[in-house]
Chains A and B, each alone.
Chain A
C-alpha cells in the first residue's frame, strides 16, 4: 500500500469516529481487517489493548500502531496525520462559525443548556473509569489522595499522575516482596 493511500484510509477513519471511544474497534476492524486485509484481527485487538494503557489519545495510538506495522516510522507519521486531519478541519470550521454567533441569544441559550449536558457526560465518563479503576483496597487510597490534591491544591495533574505511577510501583514491589517471603 502506498503511503498516500495509507494516509487517505486514516483520514476516512478519523472522519468516521464520532464522540470518541466506543466505535474505534468496529470501524478499524471493518477497514483494516475485513476490507483491506492489512493486519490480522489478533494484531488489532492487541494494539487496542495496549493503546488503552498508553498515554495520549487512544484512536491516535491505535492508528500509530497500524501505520508502524505497515510502513514503519514514516507509516506511523502518515497514520497520525491522517487520523487527525478531518477532526482538525471540522473543529477549525465549526469554531469560527460558533465564535461569530456566540453573543446571540440563540447561541447563549443553547450553550447554557449544553453546559448541563457536559456535566452529565463528565459524570458518565468518571463512572466508566471508576468501573475499571480498582484492583484492590490500596487503589481506593490512591483515588482519594488524587482527588484531594486536585480539589484542595493548585498542583498540576501531572504531579498526581507521576506520583500515583510511583506509588503503584512501590506498592507492587512491596506486595510481591511479601509474597516471596
Chain B
C-alpha cells in the first residue's frame, strides 16, 4: 500500500510544484506530517544531501524520500512518479510550443503561481526557523550565515560544509 501512496504523492508533486528543485520541499514537508514517513529532521538531512549530491535537487529529494519511506523500490517509484507529469505535459506542449507562452491562461496561471510558490517555500523556511528559535547556538550561527548570504552569493556546498564543520567541532567538544 505504501507504494501506491508513494506514487500518488510524488505524481502530485510532479504536477503541482513550480519553480525548480526547492519547490518540492513544501510538499515533502506536508507528506512527512500526514503520513509520518519521515520527520522534519530527516527532511533537513535530505535537503542537505540533495544539495551536495550530483543531479537536480528535485530528483535527489524524490529518490531520498522514496528510499527512506519505501526502500529501493520506493525510491524508484518516487523518482519515476515525479517525472511522469512533466513527460505527459511536454509531449503535449511540444506540438503547440510557439502558442504556449503567449496563451492568456498560461500567463494568468503563472501570474498566480509565482507568489504562491514563494509563499510555500517561505512557510517551510519560517517553520524550520521557529522550531529551532529556542536554541541559542543555532540562532547565532544561523544569523551569521544569513548575513553572509545577503552579502555574497555562495554555493550551497559553502554553507553546508562550514556549518557541518562547526557542528562537528561543537559536538566533539561537548558544547552541544
- The verdict on A57 contacting B119 (CB below 8 Å), with A19-B51, A118-B160 known, is no
Q: Does A2 contact B (CB under 8 A)?
A: no
Partner of B162, one of A90, A117, A133: A117
Contact in complex: A158, B124 (CB < 8 Å): no
Give the total of A residues in contact with B, Cβ under 8 Å: 95
* Majority-rule SS of A interface residues: helix
Looking at chain B's contact residues, is the secondary structure mostly helix, strand, loop, or mixed? helix
Interface centre among B52, B108, B118, B145 (most CB of A within 10 A): B118
For B57, list chain A residues within 8 Å (CB): 19-21
In the bound assembly, the distance between CA atoms of A84 and B55 in angstroms comes to 7
Q: Taking the complex as formed, is B72 at the interface, i.e. its CB lies under 8 A from any CB of chain A?
A: yes
Residue total for B at the interface (Cβ-Cβ under 8 A)? 106
- Identify which of residues 94-112 in chain B touch chain A, using a CB-to-CB cut-off of 8 Å: 94, 97, 100-101, 104-112
* Cα A116 to Cα B94 with chains together (Å): 41
Please name 12 further chain A to chain B contacts, defined as beta carbons within 8 Å, in addition to the given A14-B56, A21-B20, A110-B165, sorted by A numbering.
Answer: A17-B54, A54-B93, A64-B83, A91-B63, A94-B49, A111-B45, A113-B166, A115-B44, A119-B132, A146-B118, A157-B26, A172-B104
29 contacting pairs across A/B (C-beta < 8 A):
A14-B59, A19-B156, A20-B56, A54-B86, A56-B86, A65-B90, A91-B63, A91-B67, A91-B75, A92-B67, A95-B49, A108-B171, A113-B167, A114-B163, A115-B44, A117-B156, A121-B47, A125-B22, A134-B115, A135-B111, A139-B114, A143-B115, A146-B116, A146-B123, A147-B122, A160-B116, A165-B112, A168-B109, A169-B109
Closest 10 CB pairs of A and B: A113-B167, A87-B55, A168-B112, A109-B171, A146-B119, A164-B116, A150-B123, A57-B58, A117-B163, A172-B108
